[in-house]
Amino acid sequence: MLERFTRGARTVVTTAVEDARRSGAGSVRPEHLLSAVLVDVHSPAVQALAGLGAPVSELRQVVAGLRGRYGEGLDAADAEALRSIGIDLDDVVRLIDAGPGSRRGRVRLSADSRRVLELALGEAVRLRERFIGSEHLLLGLVTVDDSLVQEVLRAFDLTSGEVCSAVAGAERRTG
């Protein structure tokens, strides 16, 4: 499947893998892919989001806030659930967030991230595109059920459907 990826989409995947490895994550999750999609400000994915009122600088801030706040593998919903049993996740994260983080070796894609790539392929086929670009990865990201991605969309009052329409609209205009 990777041979059908554009250079931009390949860069997104390798950037996400490197990001996950550096941050000591157990696997490459959709949040790493989303952060990587936001690196290239000229990509169709970033342009489509900007057109929907979600500028890249603000997007990066929101993603970084959600990712950094609770550490790997825990999100705002987990924090709320833990509060219901008297655990302050912010306190816990502060306590554990010391020490060296990076791990060596390969970090694999999580099941959800593999699903994102499959969905991206499906979207490219559906839109009659020969190649899979970062915008198709974005479609995969908003389609897969990932709590952090969905929370980012909510922060900008966006739905998955709106993002899909915007990307499809941009494709029709350019190609």
Partner 1 sequence: MTASQDLATAAADADPRVGLRAVLALRRLAERLEVVQVRRARAQGWSWQEIAKALEVSRQAVHKKHGKG
Give residue for tokens 């739905």: 159
Amino acid identity, position 174: T
To partner 1, the closest distance from the beta carbon of 25 in angstroms equals 9
Cβ closest to partner 1, residue 79 vs residue 164: 79
What is the dihedral angle through the alpha carbons of 41, 144, 52, 11, rounded to the nearest 10 degrees?
Answer: 10
- Reduced to 3 states, what is the DSSP secondary structure of residue 5? strand
To partner 1, the closest distance from the beta carbon of 119 in angstroms equals 24
Cβ closest to partner 1, residue 3 vs residue 105: 105
Cβ closest to partner 1, residue 106 vs residue 172: 106
To partner 1, the closest distance from the beta carbon of 78 in angstroms equals 4
Amino acid identity, position 82: L
The C-alpha atoms of residue 4 and residue 6 are separated, in whole angstroms, by 7
What is the dihedral angle through the alpha carbons of 41, 43, 49, 55, rounded to the nearest 10 degrees?
Answer: 10
Q: Which residues of this protein are in contact with partner 1, per CB under 8 A?
A: 24, 26, 71-74, 77-79, 81-82, 84-87, 89, 92, 96, 99-100, 103-107
To partner 1, the closest distance from the beta carbon of 18 in angstroms equals 14
Angle between helices 134-143 and 160-174 (to 10 degrees): 160
Cβ closest to partner 1, residue 80 vs residue 118: 80
